Amino acid sequence: MQWIHQYQLFLFDFDGLLVNTESLHFQAYQHMCAARGFPLNWNFERYSDAAHHHATGLRDRIYAEFPALYAQEPDWSVLYAEKKKAFLNLLKAGAAELMPGAANLLLALKEANIKRCVVTHSSITLIQTIRHQNPILDSIPHWLTREDYSNPKPDPECYQTAIQRLAQNGDRIIGFEDSPRGLNALLQTSAKPVLICPQNSPYLKHLLKEELAYYPSFTAINDDDHP
C-alpha cells in the first residue's frame, strides 16, 4: 500500500464509510417514528435520498410524511434524541462492522505514522460505543464529532477545522466520503475528494459528473489504481 505515502493527512467520514452503520441509523429512525405511532414504511433507497443530500433533508421529509408528528413534537432535537437512544440500543444488540478494506487501510496508516482524522456528525457517545466494538478505530488519533463544530455537512466547517488543526504548509491532503452531503463539504476544501460507495448507489451517476476519484470500496484502491 505504497500509494498512501503520497499524502500527509487523511480525512475520513465515519458512518457508511469506515463503519457499516447506515442501515442501523435507518432502523433507529423507524423505531423513533413507530414509538410515536407513525410507521415509517420507506425503503432504504428512499431513506438514503432523504438523508444524504441536505443537512435538514431527513427532518423535512419525515415531518412532510407525518404532519401529525410535527404537531405532536415540533422540536426536532427531541425526536433526534429518541432516535439516538434507539440507535444505541441497536448497537448494543450487535456490533457495527467495519466496511470492506477499512481495517487494512487504517493499519497501514498507523504503521506509516501518517496523520489521520475522522470528521463526523455522529455524537461522541455513539463514536465511543462503536470504537469499543472495533478496536482498530482507536488507531485514529484525531476525531471531530458533532460537538466540535456548528454547521453540519454540506457546510465545509468540519473539514476546514480539521485541516486548520492538523495540516502543515505543503501537506497533501486527501478526504474520503460516501454521501453527497459529505462530498460537497470536501469539495469546498483543499483536500483531494474521493468518493467511496457501492456501484448501485442511487446518487452515484449524479455525483460522478464531478471530476473526482471514485471507488466502490476501499478494497478497490491499490498501487496501480489510486487517487
Task: Examine the domain organization and report whether 61 and 79 are in the same domain.
Answer: yes
Whether 180 maps to a domain, the answer reads yes
Counting residues of the chain whose pLDDT is more than 70, the rounded percentage is 96
Task: Examine the domain organization and report whether 27 and 49 are in the same domain.
Answer: yes
Q: Which of 88, 70, 79 is nearest to 25 (CA)?
A: 88
**Which stretch of 37-41, 110-114, 161-165, 196-200 has the lowest confidence by average pLDDT?**
196-200
- Predicted pLDDT at 44: 83
Task: Examine the domain organization and report whether 172 and 104 are in the same domain.
Answer: yes
- Predicted pLDDT at 98: 94
Task: Examine the domain organization and report whether 65 and 139 are in the same domain.
Answer: no
Give the residue from 93, 125, 154 where a domain finishes.
Answer: 93
Number of domains in the chain: 2
Phi, psi (deg, nearest 5) at residue 17 = -110, -60
Q: Is the pLDDT of residue 173 over 80?
A: yes
Whether 225 maps to a domain, the answer reads no
- The predicted model scores a pTM of 0.83
CB atoms within 10 A of CB 129: 17
- For the segment 26-51, the average pLDDT, to the nearest whole number, is 92
Domain that holds residue 55: 22-93
- Predicted pLDDT at 112: 98
Q: Is the pLDDT of residue 210 over 70?
A: no
State the Cα–Cα distance between residues 50 and 138, nearest whole angstrom: 31
